[in-house]
Amino acid sequence: MPSIVAIRDLRKQYAGGFQALKGVSLDIEEGEIIALLGPNGAGKTTLISTVCGITIPTSGSVTVGGHDTVTDFRAARQLIGLVPQEINLEPFETVMNTVRFSRGLFGKSADDGHIERVLKSLSLWDKRDNKIMTLSGGMKRRVLIAKALSHEPRVLFLDEPTAGVDVELRKDMWDVVAGLKASGVTIILTTHYIEEAEAIADRIGVISKGELLLVEDKAALMTRMGQKMLHIHLSQPTEAVPAALAHYNLSLEQDGRVLVYTYDTAKERTGITKLLTDLAATGLVLSDIETRQNSLEEIFVGLVKEDA
Amino acid sequence: MNLVAVRSIYRFEMARFFRTITQSLVSPVLSTSLYFVVFGTAIGSRINEVEGVSYGAFIVPGLIMLSVMTQATTNASFGIYFPKFTGTIYELLSAPVNFLEITLGYVGAAATKALFIGTIILITAFFFVDLTIAHPFAMIAFLILTCVSFALLGFIIGIWAGNFEQLQLIPLLVITPLVFLGGSFYSVSMLPPVWQTITMFNPVVYLISGFRWAFFGQADVPIGLSLLAIAFFTAACVTAIWWIFRTGWRIRQ
């Protein structure tokens, strides 16, 4: 099946000479949620802006639903909904009017039934006649999503949808995204919250300094990059790692109460059985054992550091 | 052609106008009435007829032009500047619309508003002076053309402007002086010969002259030349807007 969004060697150099995108290629499958993760200034917003037509690419091409975003921009843009990072709304308009306007702008004939469904799904229906300036920050962000969904797009770009949003609202937003995915919308979101990518994405792309460092299935990424740590709690603290265990590269933590063994889950042999056997031979008594997996955050920091 | 989009922009802009209808209409009507009282009645009663027309009636076309040009320019410039200011322009840029559709929506709405105000002022004028219109259709055509061409100019200003001060700059520093010096309140033939020549470089002279011809059947410059001038001005504005959207100047990076 051809991908719904195909980005080919996309480059963007701003007038000042800054290279925001250095040849990004990416295929996005219909119906998936892909999270683009990267520090501030990595090129996430430029990538989205270029796909949506707000920024003119220096070179490279993008197709959406098979339509080139430059030569066949009408067909391509009709499929796209964009939720910008900044809360860009006209303060004096009502929610209903501004959402209706968005639908019309995309060439769709008026359909208040659809708009009602969108507003209800975002818990905005009660606020439909309110002026936007009277809404809270979280509600305004929902209005932006409603505008983006007003013309029934097949691809939705969410540029940092939860930046500056409190924890509760962030969870709400994740529910909204999950609901959209269920309705078949492809979602591309940028974030610098690792937990967000971890919580809702199917695939994760890491962008740094205008380059896409990797794109991988979330679970595969975490397994591939993930190191696990075996924490061995001792009933009596020990002063040093016994010589017999030296080749396991153990580290001693918590005043000698915990031995930490780091291993790679992708390896065929993790060495745990042998370690535990050897450990028993040293006469140390165990009180507890636990394993911990690297979070995406640790993987991410490792990647971006490597790149620096 | 995405006509639904054109209609959406047009309606959205007109809704803004009707929401503030009182202030949109009261201030131009009030200021024009003041002109009639001061120039038409108080001072005008001491001025002889100009080109066979009472002074009060003579200034009507000029006053309408002054309002229409200012209103068309400021409305159109504000209309496109406001989305830039609030950031909602992202939506226009990412929507399946081209430059022609965006321009039609914004300029159409601004021109309609100016036309509305021009008509109200014309009606107001009938309360102050005896007025006959020699060529009503030409009058309407000139009025519409002026609304459209100055709305186009305003649209360019709105895209160019980086802040609210710049938005006011061109109407205040360029349009108002050109209109005042363009024969709104006098006939060009009343000026000394040197100034008559200089005045001919003021594009507004051709518009006001043509508009006045539609009322009284006489003009400072031939009517054909007036039409040519307004056609040239409109074409220049459309070309500029086409270039702006093609290059993304000030709106697309």
* B248 → closest Cβ in A56, A77, A102: A56
Instruction: Give the pLDDT mean for A30-57.
Output: 92
Q: Given an 8 Å threshold on Cβ–Cβ distance, is A108 in contact with B4? A: yes
What distance in Å separates the CA atoms of residue B13 and residue A97, rounded to the nearest whole number?
11
Question: Which of B12, B19, B93 is facing A53, going by the closest CB pair?
Answer: B93
Return the pLDDT at A307: 60
| Burial class of residue B71 (count of CB atoms within 10 Å of its CB; 0-12, 13-18, 19+) | buried
What φ, ψ does residue A164 adopt, rounded to 5°? Answer: 70, 20
- State whether CATH 2.60.40 applies to domain A227-293: no
pLDDT, one tens digit per residue, over A129-142 is: 999 999 988 889 99
Residue A291 has pLDDT above 90, yes or no: no
Residue among B4, B90, B96 minimizing CB distance to A73: B96
B149 three-state secondary structure = helix
Which residue in B92, B94, B102, B244 has the most chain A C-beta atoms within 10 A of its own C-beta, making it the best mutation to test that interface? B94
Distance of CA A272 to the CA centre of its chain: 33
Instruction: Return the top range by mean pLDDT from A85-89, A191-195, B42-46, B173-177.
Output: A85-89
Which residue ranges make up each domain of chain A? 5-223, 227-293
Per-residue tokens: B124: 């107001």
Q: Is residue B97 less than 8 Å (CB to CB) from chain A? A: yes
Residue B253 lies in a domain: no
Q: Is the ipTM of this complex over 0.90?
A: no
Report the gap between the CA of A299 and the closest CA in chain B (Å): 34
How many A-B residue pairs are in contact by the CB < 8 A criterion? Answer: 81
Mean pLDDT of all residues in A213-226: 79
A256: CB partners within 8 A, 6+ apart: A234, A237, A238, A239, A240
Interface of B with A in 70-89 (CB under 8 A): 82-83, 86-89
Query: Per CB distance under 8 Å, which residues of A are interface residues toward B?
Result: 14-15, 49, 52-56, 73-78, 80, 82, 84, 86-92, 97, 100-109, 147
CA A157, A11, A88: angle at the middle one, nearest 5? 35
Q: Do A105 and B97 touch (CB under 8 A)?
A: yes
Identify the closest residue of chain A to B102 by CA–CA distance.
Answer: A105
**What pLDDT sits at residue B247?**
85
- pLDDT at site A66: 94
Nearest CB to B8 within list A55, A89, A105: A105
The token pair that represents B92 in the structure block: 């226009």
- Mean pLDDT of the A103-125 span: 93
* The token pair that represents A293 in the structure block: 């997996």
Q: Is B91 on the interface with A (CB under 8 A)?
A: yes
Strand ranges of the sheet holding A251-253, from the earlier edge strand across to the other edge: A251-253, A258-264, A227-234, A286-293
Check residue A1 and give its pLDDT. Answer: 58
What is the C-alpha end-to-end distance of chain A, expressed in Å?
A: 36
The predicted model gives A259-286 an average pLDDT of: 84
- Candidates A105, A106, A144, A160: best to mutate against B (most CBs of B within 10 A) is A105
pLDDT tens digit string along B235-249? 999 999 999 988 888
Picking from A19, A48, A54, A68 by the largest number of B CB atoms within 10 A of its own CB, the best residue to mutate is: A54
Residue B107 belongs to what domain range?
Answer: 3-247
Strand-pairing partners, residue A67, are A64
Which residue from A301, A290, A285, A164 is spatially nearest to A225, judged by alpha carbons? A301
Using CA atoms, how far residue B124 sits from B28, B37, B49, B130, B179, in Å, is: 11, 12, 21, 12, 20
Q: Answer whether residue B163 is part of any domain.
A: yes
* Half-sphere exposure at residue A164, Cβ-oriented, CA atoms within 13 angstroms: 10
Query: Residue for token digits 């010096």?
Result: B181
d(CA A219, CA A60): 30
CATH architecture, domain A5-223? 3-Layer(aba) Sandwich (3.40)
Residues from chain A contacting residue B15 (CB–CB below 8 Å):
97
In a domain, B252, yes or no: no
Which H or E element spans position A204? strand A203-208
pLDDT in tens, B130-141: 888 999 999 999
* Residue A181 · residue A33 · CB < 8 Å: yes
Chain A residues touching B96 at Cβ < 8 A: 73-78, 106-107
Is the pLDDT assigned to residue B55 strictly greater than 90? no
- Cβ B95–A108 below 8 Å, yes or no? no
Q: State which residue of chain A sits closest to B253, comparing Cα positions.
A: A55
Q: Could you tell me if B61 and B208 are in contact, meaning their C-beta atoms sit under 8 angstroms apart?
A: yes
How large a percentage of chain B has pLDDT more than 70? 100
Among A56, A105, A107, whose Cβ lies nearest the Cβ of B91? A105
- Contact (CB<8Å) B94/A88: no
pLDDT above 90 covers what percent of chain B?
Answer: 48
- Is the per-residue pLDDT at A48 higher than 80? yes
| pLDDT interval class at A308 (50, 70, 90) | low
Distance from CA of B194 to the nearest CA of A (A): 47
Partner-chain contact B90 A97, CB within 8 Å? no
d(CA A232, CA A237): 11
B80 versus B37: the higher-pLDDT residue is: B80
Q: Which residues of B touch A55 (CB under 8 A)?
A: 252-253
Q: Count the domains in chain B.
A: 1
**What mean pLDDT comes out for the span A222-250?**
83
Residue of chain A minimizing CA distance to B86: A88
Q: Are B186 and B50 in contact, with CB atoms under 8 Å apart?
A: yes
Hey, is the C-beta of B253 within 8 angstroms of any chain A C-beta? yes
**Which residues in chain B have their CB less than 8 angstroms from residue A92's CB?**
16, 19
Average pLDDT of the segment spanning A209-213: 91
Q: Which residue has the higher pLDDT, B41 or B95?
A: B95
